[in-house]
Structures are given as C-alpha cells and as structure tokens.
Chain A
Amino acid sequence: MSASLRRFGRWVSLASKREFSNFSCIEKGAEGSWKSLNLYSAINQALHIAMESDPRALMLAFPVPLGRLAERFGKNRVFNTPLCEQGIVGFGIGLAAMGNRAIAEIQFADYIYPAFDQIVNEAAKFRYRSGNQFNCLTIRAPYGAVGHGGHYHSQSPEAFFCHVPGIKVVIPRSPRQAKGLLLSCIRDPNPVVFFEPKWLYRLAVEEVPEDDYMLPLSDAEVLREGSDITLVGWGAQLSIMEQACLDAEKANKQVSKLSTQKFLVGTWVWTIGTRKHRKDGISCELIDLRTLIPWDKDTVEASVKKTGRLLISHEAPVTGGFGAEISASIVERCFLRPAMDMAQFLASCNMMSAESNFPLTCNGHGSVFGILQHDLEAPITRICGLDTPFPLVFEPFYMPTKNKILDAIKSTVGY
C-alpha cells in the first residue's frame, strides 16, 4: 500500500446515496502497520485497545454483542446489562467515580433519553458539584439516518447534550477518526457522549493504523481548503458536504459574486460593492468540527474570516440544532471587526486630510480602504433536517441532501 494511499484512505461507496472521497487524516503517533477497516471494526479495535491498555477499563451495554471482547477480557469487565438506559449510565457513573474507565453503550441514540437525567444532572455535574473530586464516563451511541430507520432509529440528538456544561460531545466521520477520537474520549476524565454515524459502520472503509493512537478533542480539522465559502459539519453529514464541495467546484461558472467593503463615514457606514462574474467554480473550505462541545471556534472563525461565508449542515432538525450555536458565535466574532487598529490604519495612510471627517484613504496601490470591514459577506446558511420527527418514507425529503447544500452554496456565494 503506497504511503499516499495510506494517508488519504479509501472510501467505499455502495449502493447508498452517501458517497465518499479522500478525506485526509491526522496520523499522530501511528507508525506501525495499517489495515483497511470499516468504521465498525475501527471502533471495535479502539475498544480492544482501551480495554487492554487499562486494566480498570470496563464496558457495559444492552445488549452487547460481546463476542470476542467478552472472551478476551472476561465477563467481569465486558458485560451485558438489563434493558435500562438510566441503569446503564448510572451504573457507569458509579464505576467511573470509583476510578474505573467506564465505557457505556446505548443501543441507539434514540434510546438515550431514559438516561437523560443521569447524563445531564449527574454525569455532567459530578466534577463541578464536588469541587473536582470525581471523574466520569464515556457513553457511546449510534446516531443518525440509515435509510429506513423512521422515528426511532434515525435521530441525531447531539444538540441536547451540547446545551449541558460539563459534557463533551464527539462525533467521528470515518474509521480512522473514530478510532483515534474514541480512544481520546475514553481516556478523557470528563463525561463524553460519543455518537457514532451508524450509516457508515460498514460503508466507510479506510486505512487505519493498528497502533494505539489518539486524536485531539476540541480540535476541528480542515478537510479541504477553499477561499469562497466555509462549510462546517460533523459525522456522516461530512461525506454529503464533501460531494457538494466537489460539485460546486466543477459546476459553477455563471454565479456572480458580490464583493463588498464597508466604510465608516462620520457616523454612517457605507457599503461599496462590486459584482464580479466568476469564471471558475466555487472554492469551498470544509471543516469537520469533530468535537461539538467544547468546540474549536478559532478554526471556524479563521476560516470564515478568510472566505467570508459560512454554511453549516447537520441532520438534526434545524431549529435549536447545534448549527444555530455555531452561527450565533460566528456572527459575534465575524460580523464586524476593525480591519486594523487605528494606529495601523493611520500609518497605512499616505494621504490624510486633517480637517476631514472622512477617514477615507488610498493605499499605495490605489485601492480604497475603510476602517471597518465585513468578514461575513453573506448571511450564514444552515442546511439541516426539517423541524419534524424523522419520517420514514419521507427520509429523502427530510435529509440535508447534497443538492440542497449545493444550491445553498451557490446562492450564498452569489449573495
């Protein structure tokens, strides 16, 4: 296997409408051999490593298809529980508080709600209410659409947990990511909810280092660089967004782009715009947030400052989804900012009228400059699930599809 193939991994796309391309990956600390694995096996490998590397690691779930894990580590450490999600999480919290590394699994993210109290009122607040005397557990749950899951085998409940200080929420997009992130989550002393994109369990195949390696939490990854628009997503949705990026790059010849600049004139802000007709496609920057909370605002901010546009996409219903939080934060950081501080501004002026109220100037190259500049050149767009329960036969309508994203990219860039 050539080094480059290893680096970029291999995505296998089956009959599904989910398609994948070559996402690059971080390979920190992974020197040994690599193996082509699907997401499910990669997670399995992470669990084996977590159990092996820490004798105090324990796994519990209903119903755990224990198989080799139980055989290898014994039924004392890998066990099936009664059918009770609040029990699974509460028990896991108890284990973790006693210094064990508890790895709890909920069969589907849709069934995490009976454990909501244990997660929100207990796991999340154990450290804070005790003055940092206790550590907490990792909760895994498969989430998201799968083609025919209907109401209760399709949900993406991440936003509920992102509203809870004390919890981390992590969602991997690929086998290699899943393994490295899961190991980080398990070894993180804080309670982490790790949502696994179940649609990709078998569909996503990638070269994965066999070694024990961890990927950093709260660290977004720029998957592809671009200059016209930033796309932010996580988990399974990234593969859809990637397709939209590729299409946007190819397709768009006729979209016109308006570049604007703002000028402070006395107490007035003036906007001067020029409409440029693009000849080439749209260059998209795609970011995998990976950790939703606490999230890597800086990476997103830096990207939006570069591209001037932001699109967020997730499967969960748009209203109150985590996209709303990203959108609000980026508006706070990027709506208006001084293009430069006043000293810098004055220094850059080579012509200045002392009497004039118009702090307008030309730089040496003759272009117009203002003291305030728009980072966001278009409204932030969210392409997400509908505000309905997840509807079985309407799944293709509910989903934030590639073409919905593509159209939004075009209209945002052409705003």
Chain B
Amino acid sequence: MAIWLLARSRTIIQRLPKMMPCFGVLYHSSSSFHYSASPSSSFLMSHGPRRLTSGTTPFFFFFSRPESTKAHTQLEQLYTSEDDDDQAIDFPGGKVAYTCEMRFISESAEKRVPCYRVLDDNGELVSHSNHVQVSKEMGVKMYTNMVTLQIMDSVFYELQRQGRISFYVTSMGEEAVNIASAAALSAHDVILPQYREPGVLLWRGFTLEDFANQLMGNKADFGKGRQMPIHYGSNSLNYFTVSSPIATQLPQAAGVAYSLKMDAKNACAVTYFGDGSTSEGDFHAALNFAAVMEAPVIFFCRNNGWAISTPVQEQFRSDGIVVKGQGYGIRGIRVDGNDALAVYSAVHTAREMAITESRPILIEALTYRAGHHSTSDDSTKYRPIHEIEYWKMTRNPVNRFKKWVEKNGWWEDKDEVELRSSVKKQLLEAIRVAEKTEKPSVEEIFNDVYDQLPSNLEEQERLLRQAIHNHPEDYPSDVPSRRHFPPISVPEEYAEDIFSVSSNCSPSANGWRERDSY
C-alpha cells in the first residue's frame, strides 16, 4: 500500500511541467555581511512567498538549471503552477491558494543543498569566495587553538589507553567546527554543547589544567568528580555542563535564547549536536519552539557522518539536516565543516541574523568524526579504513587552515615546532598536577543534590561515615573526608578515625566497553 502510494506520487511528480528553474532562498540580513554567488548563477529578485518579519529583505536567487536535470524541487512544486490566484482558502496562518492539480510534494530535491565553502582542500581561497574577513591575530589564534585541541586529543586519548583516566572522546576531524564556530561568537553567547565541542570551551579560556582536572575528577574539577570524563562545563564561560543524554540540550537552548531576548542582551544561544541527535524527539521540539518563540538560537549540527556505528543513511532519509529547518520555518545553511573560514563566516553571519532579527538559525556543518566514537569504540569494525584515512589526510581541517595561514605569511615552521612543544609541555604538567590532586571529599557525594542538605541525606552521610569507619579498606584512599558532624551517631572513641579514611582501591578504568558486539 505504502509502496504503491509512493510510486504513484513519484509518477505524478515526474509529469509535472518543468516550467521554472529551481531557486534557492537567501534572506539578506541587516548585517554587514554580503552573500554573492558564483558567476555562473544569474540573479533575479522577486517577492517571497512568505511574509517576513520586519527589517528583512528577501532575495531569491534563481539558478539556471542544466538542461539534463529533471528534478522538481519541493519549492518549485509549491509555488510554480497554474494556481488559481483568485480563489484561496482564508486559513488561519495565511491564505492558501487553490489548485485543481493533484500534486504531491516531492520527498526530496534531486540536487542536494550545496555546501558553502571558502577554502579548497589545499587551503586556497576558491574564486569569488565570499567570507567574513579574518585578521592575522584572529587567524593565528584560531590555528593555535586547533593545534592545541589536536594535542589535547592525542595526549588525553593516550592517557585513557594507559588506564589513567576512565574514558575519553576526541574531536579529531572536527577541529575547524569547534574552533572556528567558537571564534565567530561573542563570549556572552551561551553555549549548550553535546560533548564533541571541547574546542569551544578551550577558545573561551578553559585552561589545560581545567580540562585535566575534569578528566581526573579531582577536587579542582568544577563538576566535583561526579560525572564521567569529558563532561566539562563552566557557568562563568557561558558553557553549560555536558550531559550524556543525547539532544536534551536543544530545547533548553531555545529557552536560554528566549531569556537572552527578554533581557535584550546582545547575545544568542548556540547549541551543538551530532547528526544522530536530530532523530531524538528533543531536536524537533527544540526547532519548533525556537521558531514559534522567535528565539535567537543557533542550532549547529556537526554532521560527521556517523552516530557511533550508524551511518547517516540509516539515520534519516532527508538531504541531511539543513532541509529540516524549513519544515519548522527556520532559516539554514550548509557549510563545509572542515573549512574553518566557511564555518567562521557562516556562524558570524548567523549570529547577526539571530540577534538582530530574533530568529533561530540552523547550520549544518559537513564534517567527519575522524576518531572512534569514544575510547569504548572501535570504528574500524563498521567503516572502511580508507574512508577514515581520506578524511584524516585529504580533508584534514587543521592542515587546510594551516596552509591558508602560511600562505598569508602569518605562520612558519618554527612557530609550529615551538607551539607544539610548548602546548605538550604545558599539558603534561597539567596532567601531572591533576593526577596528584586529591579527589573531592566525601561530603561532596551529598552536596548539590539540593541547594541544602535535606535530612535524608544527612542521615545517609552519617551512616556512610560509620561504614567508612568500619571498613576503611572498602574505600578509595584519595577521597578525603572533611565535614565535621556533631558527634551524635559517632561514638567518641571513633570520631577521629572516621575523618581519616585510608585504603588503596579506586574505581577501575578498564574492562567494560560502552558497546559490546553480538
């Protein structure tokens, strides 16, 4: 039944008159950024089919289609036929024209939405490329941050392999997405990350020591050792704490953005997520809320091809993520995620539009998860090595940006050597110190469940201290115990011992893998 319907609708679509060229839509914002298309495109201006909020001028760019293309895009079918203009349904939300033709909207356009880029794989500006200018200072800072992120990833990954931290996730292959997007934002913009965006935090000033402390879960970790490694967060850096459940941050981002708007802040919310996350209900809730509430939020999708072992073809049948925005009335752009300049320009412009026009923007960055999903994963089991190699080498975002910085005369080999050795040194020192730093003390188990310790937890803390006193060998020795309770339940003679726990066991950092295979 379903198959028959699909076949039918396809036939109907194919028989539609090929009247009009396909067109893309770009709204010219009030920002200083200007878009220009490649010279092969001819431009026409027209009035848009939708009403726009004030301050915006719509531009429709009509691309002439090669003769051979048979496609009819969704837009084409929607707006190009012998619609009977005289007759329309006056429907809530706006008039809808009648048509006598029975037409199904195509499930997809024949041509995929193109991907905006500025630099080619060799770090050359593509001709007529249009992008936001990047100063020398900014360019060098972006590059050094990308390299720092790379070094962090390789050192921390190795640390996990040695069993010194229990878990790690790299951002390998997504350095440009991380750093360039962060660079295009203001420090007041509020970030709601997934987990593969430590570069954004690095850019904002989270130090190598901060990273190392979180990974070690020591007392200097803002999260007080309670969460798994890589669950960073810093309210002062406007970076929400990472939470493992996928996509939960997305509707929250719409709320954050709405609040920024209410406070008339010159800032937006920015939330990052993978391609897999877009399947969760929260993604859809988020986009719809953001659109309806006119929330200044940038939805930044890192489409890296894989969600653990699930390739995008098994994740969705749309043309990626960018097209989903339109379904919710959200403007979007697809950008080459391995091109730092393109990411920078797109985010910079999106930010302007989001804030000045109070609207959500969807950015889909095409990139690749060049590493395993996490230290619990072996991606060579489900994807070809040559695919990984191609993205690691040919499409490497750091190398590409480096070539551009070098061509500008901003960067030399000796800078590279210096940078790498100094970052590495600093990192190893941060790790050394973090490793030696003691764990948060026992009371931190009970603090922060609520703002104040309720009686059930007070009671449980007492019982736990008694248990520690009775069996110190059961508890890790690097977790100190500080809170002094009135010695109600603690017999006098024990009181001293209870507050100094000693043992030699600590949580194991091996064995279990996130995903076992059948």
Which of B439, B467, B479, B516 makes the CB contact (< 8 A) with A40?
A: B516
Cβ-based interface call for B509 (8 A): yes
Cβ-based interface call for A62 (8 A): yes
Cβ-based interface call for A21 (8 A): no
CB distance from B451 to the nearest CB of A (A): 14
Q: Is the CB of B511 within 8 A of A14?
A: yes
Q: Is the CB of B227 within 8 A of A151?
A: yes
Cβ-based interface call for A44 (8 A): yes
Question: Once bound together, how far apart are the Cα atoms of A5 and B316, in whole Å?
Answer: 50
In chain A between 40 and 75, which residues have their CB closer than 8 angstroms to a CB of chain B? 40, 44, 47, 62-69
Residues of A within 8 A of B276 (CB): 82-83
Bitwise interface map of B from 292 to 334 toward A, beta carbon under 8 Å scored 1, else 0: 0000000000000001111000111000000000000000000
Cβ-based interface call for A294 (8 A): no
Q: Is the CB of B281 within 8 A of A150?
A: no
- Partner-binding segment picked from B111-119, B204-212, B242-250, B363-371: B242-250
In chain A between 240 and 289, which residues have their CB closer than 8 angstroms to a CB of chain B? none
Which of B314, B457, B476, B512 makes the CB contact (< 8 A) with A396?
A: B476
In chain A between 83 and 128, which residues have their CB closer than 8 angstroms to a CB of chain B? 83-87, 107, 110-111, 113-114
Q: Is the CB of A87 within 8 A of B279?
A: yes
Interface size class of B (residues with CB under 8 A): 35 or more
CB distance from B390 to the nearest CB of A (A): 23
| Minimal Cβ-Cβ distance residue in B for A319 | B456
Cβ-based interface call for B460 (8 A): yes
Cβ-based interface call for A226 (8 A): no
Q: Is the CB of A148 within 8 A of B509?
A: yes
Cβ-based interface call for B471 (8 A): yes
Residues of A within 8 A of B446 (CB): 386, 388
A397-B243 contact in complex given A15-B508, A82-B314, C-beta closer than 8 Å: no
Q: Is the CB of A83 within 8 A of B479?
A: no
Residues of A within 8 A of B511 (CB): 14-16, 147, 202
| Minimal Cβ-Cβ distance residue in B for A79 | B314
Q: Is the CB of A148 within 8 A of B228?
A: yes
In chain A between 1 and 49, which residues have their CB closer than 8 angstroms to a CB of chain B? 14-17, 40, 44, 47
Cβ-based interface call for B91 (8 A): no
Cβ-based interface call for A398 (8 A): yes
Residues of B within 8 A of A146 (CB): 512
Cβ-based interface call for A219 (8 A): no
Bitwise interface map of B from 466 to 486 toward A, beta carbon under 8 Å scored 1, else 0: 011011001110010000000
Q: Is the CB of B225 within 8 A of A392?
A: yes
A153-B514 contact in complex given A80-B310, A86-B281, A393-B479, C-beta closer than 8 Å: yes
Q: Is the CB of B227 within 8 A of A403?
A: no
Question: Once bound together, how far apart are the Cα atoms of A87 and B315, in whole Å?
Answer: 12
Q: Is the CB of B460 within 8 A of A386?
A: yes
Residues of A within 8 A of B225 (CB): 391-394
Cβ-based interface call for A401 (8 A): yes
Q: Is the CB of A63 within 8 A of B307?
A: yes
Question: Once bound together, how far apart are the Cα atoms of A392 and B509, in whole Å?
Answer: 11
Of B231, B316, B446, B512, the most chain A CB neighbours within 10 A belong to B512
Residues of A within 8 A of B281 (CB): 84, 86-87, 114
Question: Once bound together, how far apart are the Cα atoms of A151 and B445, in whole Å?
Answer: 12
Residues of B within 8 A of A211 (CB): none
A111-B245 contact in complex given A387-B457, A393-B225, C-beta closer than 8 Å: yes
Cβ-based interface call for A173 (8 A): no
Bitwise interface map of A from 368 to 402 toward B, beta carbon under 8 Å scored 1, else 0: 00000000000000000011110111111110010
Question: Once bound together, how far apart are the Cα atoms of A161 and B162, in whole Å?
Answer: 39
Question: Once bound together, how far apart are the Cα atoms of A110 and B460, in whole Å?
Answer: 24
A63-B515 contact in complex given A83-B277, A397-B479, C-beta closer than 8 Å: yes
Cβ-based interface call for B217 (8 A): yes
Cβ-based interface call for B103 (8 A): no
| Minimal Cβ-Cβ distance residue in B for A66 | B518
Which of B244, B308, B445 makes the CB contact (< 8 A) with A152?
A: B244
Which of A63, A153, A387 makes the CB contact (< 8 A) with B460?
A: A387
Residues of A within 8 A of B280 (CB): 83-85, 114
CB distance from B470 to the nearest CB of A (A): 6
Cβ-based interface call for B393 (8 A): no
| Minimal Cβ-Cβ distance residue in B for A115 | B281
Cβ-based interface call for B166 (8 A): yes
Which of A14, A86, A319, A394 makes the CB contact (< 8 A) with B445?
A: A394
Residues of A within 8 A of B512 (CB): 146-149, 198-199, 201-202
Q: Is the CB of A397 within 8 A of B228?
A: no
Q: Is the CB of B479 within 8 A of A394?
A: yes
Of A107, A146, A199, A396, the most chain B CB neighbours within 10 A belong to A396
Which of A152, A318, A397 makes the CB contact (< 8 A) with B245?
A: A152
Cβ-based interface call for B440 (8 A): yes
Cβ-based interface call for A341 (8 A): no
Question: Once bound together, how far apart are the Cα atoms of A386 and B457, in whole Å?
Answer: 8
Residues of A within 8 A of B308 (CB): 63
Cβ-based interface call for A404 (8 A): yes
Question: Once bound together, how far apart are the Cα atoms of A61 and B2, in whole Å?
Answer: 23
Cβ-based interface call for B38 (8 A): no
Residues of A within 8 A of B94 (CB): none
Q: Is the CB of B479 within 8 A of A63?
A: no
Which of B316, B449, B509, B518 makes the CB contact (< 8 A) with A389?
A: B449
Please name 9 further chain A to chain B contacts, defined as beta carbons within 8 Å, in addition to the given A14-B511, A65-B517, A67-B517, sorted by A numbering: A15-B508, A82-B315, A111-B245, A147-B512, A151-B226, A151-B243, A202-B516, A393-B440, A401-B467
Which A residues lie at the B interface, using CB under 8 A? 14-17, 40, 44, 47, 62-69, 80, 82-87, 107, 110-111, 113-114, 146-153, 198-199, 201-202, 318-319, 386-389, 391-398, 401, 403-404, 407
